[in-house]
C-alpha cells in the first residue's frame, strides 16, 4: 500500500531528512585514516539526538547500530565496530536515518578516506551521477521502472554491476514503505509515480560483478568478488516536474570543498 503524503507531512519528512543531511556534514568533518566506524557512529548518534530525533536504523529489524558504515567491498548494512579502522584509500558508505515527529529521514553518501585511486573515484562519480539520473525520472506520471532503468542503464554502460538484492523504497511513518524502488527496471513498468509519494532512490553499484553475499553476522552485505561498491541515497517527494529532494549533500560539500565530487 502506497501512502500519499500531504504538504504538511512532506515538510515533516523534510525536517527529518535535513537532520540526516546535517549529520552527514558532521561525518565529512571526521572521516579520516585511523578513525573507527564505532567512533563516527557515536558522533552521529549524539548529533541526531541533539537535534531532537532518534537514529532511525537502531534496532530496525534488530539492526545493532545507530548508522550503517560500509567500507570498500561492503555494499550496505555494515555494523559499526571498533575493529573497523579507516585507512588511506578506503571508501566508506555511511547510511543515516533520523526519526522525528513520526517521520523518517534516510540518506547515504560514500566518503573517501584520504586519497582514493582514480579507478575507485570513477566508480563513485558514476554511482552519484546515476542517482541524479534516477531522480530526473522521478516525476508525476512516470513509473518506478523509469527510475530504475535510468540508474541501471547509466551504470551498466560504464561496465559496473548493479546490485539487485538491495533496493530503494517508499519513506514515511515507516522507514521502508511501498513502493519498492529497484536500481534496475524497464521503462514504462512498475507503479505509477504520483504527487505526494516520497521515495528513497539509492543506487548500490559494484566495480565488478553485481552479485553480493550476506556475512555471518546476518547484516553485512558485501560484493561476492570483494571489489569495491558505492552507495548514494536521496529521499525525494514526487510532484509535477522535477522532484523535490528532501535530503541534501550540501553540508558535506560545505566541509569537503574542492574534495567534494
> From the CB of 69, what's the least distance to Mg ion, in Å?
12
Instruction: Please choose, out of 8-16, 41-49, 159-167, 225-233, the segment that lies near Mg ion by the rule CB under 5 A.
Output: 225-233
Size of the site for Mg ion (CB under 5 A): 5
> From the CB of 189, what's the least distance to Mg ion, in Å?
21
DSSP 200-255: EE--EEESS-S-EEE-TTS--EEETT---EEE-BEEEE--SSS-EE-S-SHHHHHH
Instruction: Please choose, out of 82-90, 98-106, 184-192, 223-231, the segment that lies near Mg ion by the rule CB under 5 A.
Output: 98-106
> From the CB of 173, what's the least distance to Mg ion, in Å?
15
Instruction: Decide: is 94 part of the binding site for Mg ion (CB under 5 A).
Output: no
Cβ closer to Mg ion: 155 or 175? 175
Instruction: Decide: is 146 part of the binding site for Mg ion (CB under 5 A).
Output: no
C-alpha distances in angstroms, 199 versus 5, 116, 175, 222, 236? Answer: 11, 31, 10, 24, 6
Q: Which residue has the cell 541534501?
A: 248
Helix axis angle for 118-137 and 144-156, nearest 10°, is 160
Cβ closer to Mg ion: 43 or 85? 43
Q: What is the DSSP letter of 167?
A: -
> Sheet harboring 168-170: ordered strands across?
177-181, 168-170, 198-201, 234-237, 244-245
Instruction: Decide: is 199 part of the binding site for Mg ion (CB under 5 A).
Output: no
Instruction: Decide: is 106 part of the binding site for Mg ion (CB under 5 A).
Output: yes
Backbone angles phi, psi at 134, to 5 degrees: -65, -45
Q: Kindly tell me the sign of the dihedral angle through the C-alpha atoms of 48, 54, 59, 60.
A: negative
If you count DSSP H runs as helices and E runs as strands, how many of each does the chain have, helices first? Answer: 5, 15
Instruction: Please choose, out of 5-13, 101-109, 140-148, 249-257, the segment that lies near Mg ion by the rule CB under 5 A.
Output: 101-109
> Sheet harboring 212-214: ordered strands across?
74-76, 221-223, 212-214
The site string for Mg ion over 52-81 (x = CB under 5 A, - otherwise) reads ------------------------------
Interface with Mg ion (CB under 5 A), residue from 108, 131, 155, 221: 108
Interface with Mg ion (CB under 5 A), residue from 9, 41, 73, 95: 95
> From the CB of 202, what's the least distance to Mg ion, in Å?
5
> From the CB of 238, what's the least distance to Mg ion, in Å?
16
List residues near Mg ion by CB under 5 A.
95, 106, 108, 200, 233
Amino acid at each position: 500500500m502506497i501512502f500519499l503524503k500531504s504538504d504538511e507531512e512532506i515538510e515533516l519528512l523534510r525536517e527529518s531528512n535535513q537532520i540526516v543531511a546535517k549529520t552527514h556534514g558532521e561525518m565529512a568533518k571526521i572521516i579520516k585514516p585511523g578513525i573507527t566506524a564505532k567512533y563516527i557512529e557515536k558522533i552521529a548518534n549524539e548529533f541526531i539526538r541533539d537535534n531532537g530525533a532518534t537514529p532511525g536504523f537502531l534496532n530496525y529489524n534488530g539492526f545493532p547500530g545507530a548508522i550503517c558504515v560500509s567500507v570498500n567491498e561492503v555494499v550496505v548494512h555494515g555494523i559499526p565496530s571498533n575493529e573497523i579502522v579507516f585507512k588511506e584509500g578506503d571508501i566508506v558508505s555511511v547510511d543515516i536515518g533520523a526519526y522525528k515527529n513520526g517521520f523518517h529521514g534516510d540518506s547515504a553518501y560514500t566518503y573517501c578516506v584520504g586519497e582514493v585511486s582514480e579507478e575507485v573515484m570513477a566508480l563513485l562519480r558514476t554511482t552519484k551521477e546515476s542517482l541524479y539520473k534516477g531522480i530526473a525520472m522521478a516525476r508525476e506520471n512516470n513509473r518506478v521502472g523509469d527510475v530504475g532503468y535510468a540508474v541501471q542503464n547509466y551504470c551498466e554502460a560504464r561496465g559496473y554491476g548493479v546490485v539487485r538484492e538491495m533496493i530503494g523504497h517508499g519513506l514515511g511513518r515507516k522507514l521502508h514503505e511501498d513502493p519498492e524502488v529497484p536500481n534496475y527496471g524497464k521503462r514504462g513498468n512498475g507503479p505509477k509515480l504520483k504527487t505526494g509519494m516520497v521515495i528513497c532512490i539509492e543506487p548500490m553499484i559494484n566495480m565488478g560483478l553485481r552479485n553480493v553475499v550476506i556475512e555471518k553476522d546476518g547484516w553485512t552485505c558485501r560484493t561476492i568478488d570483494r571489489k569495491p561498491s558505492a552507495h548514494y541515497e536521496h529521499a525525494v517527494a514526487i510532484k509535477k516536474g522535477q522532484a523535490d529532494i528532501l535530503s541534501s549533500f550540501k553540508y558535506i560539500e560545505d566541509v569537503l570543498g574542492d574534495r567534494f565530487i
